[in-house]
Amino acid sequence: MVERRPWLDALSHLILIIGVLVIAFPVYITFVASTHTSEAVVQSPMPMLPGSQLLDNYATALSGERLGSGSHASVGRMMVVSLVTALVISLGKITISLLSAFALVYFRFPFRMAFFWAIFVTLMLPVEVRIGPTYKVVADLGLLNTYAGLTVPLIASATATFLFRQFFLTVPDELVEAARVDGAGPMRFFKDILVPLSRTSMAALFVIQFIYGWNQYLWPLLVTTEENMYPVVIGIKQMISGGDAQTEWNIVMATAMLAMLPPALVVMLMQKWFVKGLVDTEK
C-alpha cells in the first residue's frame, strides 16, 4: 500500500530536485566554460552564463588546432578510437558470453563445471590484479597502440557469462524438446530461440558495457603512447598535462562535453530496452 499525502509528495519532489541540481550543476559549469575564452574561464569569479565562443571552441577541439600545452590530438580522432573501442568491447563481450553460457548449459563435456567455476572465480579478480601480466602479454605480441591491444584483453566478461547462464537455465525443457522434435540442431536452437529470447538482456548488457568501454582509463593509459590512438578520456588527461597555467580550459571543457554525448545518446536511445532488460522476467 502506497501512502499518498501532499507533504510527502512535496518532500519527494524537493529531494528529487536537489538530486538533479547536484548532478546537473557540474555539467552546466562545464558547458558554460566551453563557451568562453580561456582567459574568462580562469578569472574569478568565472562567468555563470554561456558566452559567445561556443562554435569556435568546439571547432578547435574537434580539429586539434589549438595553441596550449599538452596533447594536440584531434578530438574527432579520439572519439573515433573511443567509439570503436566501446563497440568492440560491448559487442565482443555479448557474443563471447552468449556462446560460453550456451556451451555451459546445453552441452555435456568433461570438466564442464570446472570451467564454469574457473569463469566464476574471475569475478573476484579486479582488472588491477591482472593488469601487469596482461600488459606483458600484449606488449610481447606487439599489440601496443593498436585497436586489438585496446579491446582484446577487455573483451571477455565473467559477469555476462554468469548472467546469460542463469537466464538459459530458466528456459523450459519443453522448448528444447520441441526444437529437437522439429529437427533444429544446436546452433539453429541457439540462433532462432535463445538469441531472440535474450534480446532484452543483450540490450541492457550492451548499454552497460558500452559505457564501460567508453570510460576506460587505466588500460588505455598503459597501452597507448601515440596520439592517434588516444581514446577521448586519455586525450582529456593529456590535454591538461602541461600545467594549470598553460592549459586551455575552455577547449578541455568542450572536449569533456563532446565526450559525454555518445554514452548519453546510447542510454537515451536504448532506455526502453535497458529498463526492460533489467526488470523483465518473462520468458
Average pLDDT over residues 104-112: 88
Q: How far apart are CA 70 and CA 121, in angstroms?
A: 41
- Looking at this protein, which amino acid is placed at residue 205? L
Average pLDDT over residues 4-21: 88
Residue 130, CB half-sphere, CA atoms under 13 Å: how many?
Answer: 11
The 10s digit of each residue's pLDDT in 66-107 is: 776 667 778 889 999 999 999 999 999 999 999 999 999 998
Asked whether the predicted pLDDT for residue 245 surpasses 90, the reply is no
Element at 54 (helix H, strand E): helix 54-63
Q: Residue 179 corresponds to which cell in the numbers above?
A: 526444437
Q: Which of 64-73, 110-119, 138-147 has the lowest mean pLDDT?
A: 64-73
Whether the Cβ atoms of residue 41 and residue 253 lie closer than 8 Å to each other: yes
65 Cβ partners below 8 Å, 6+ apart? Answer: 72
pTM: 0.85
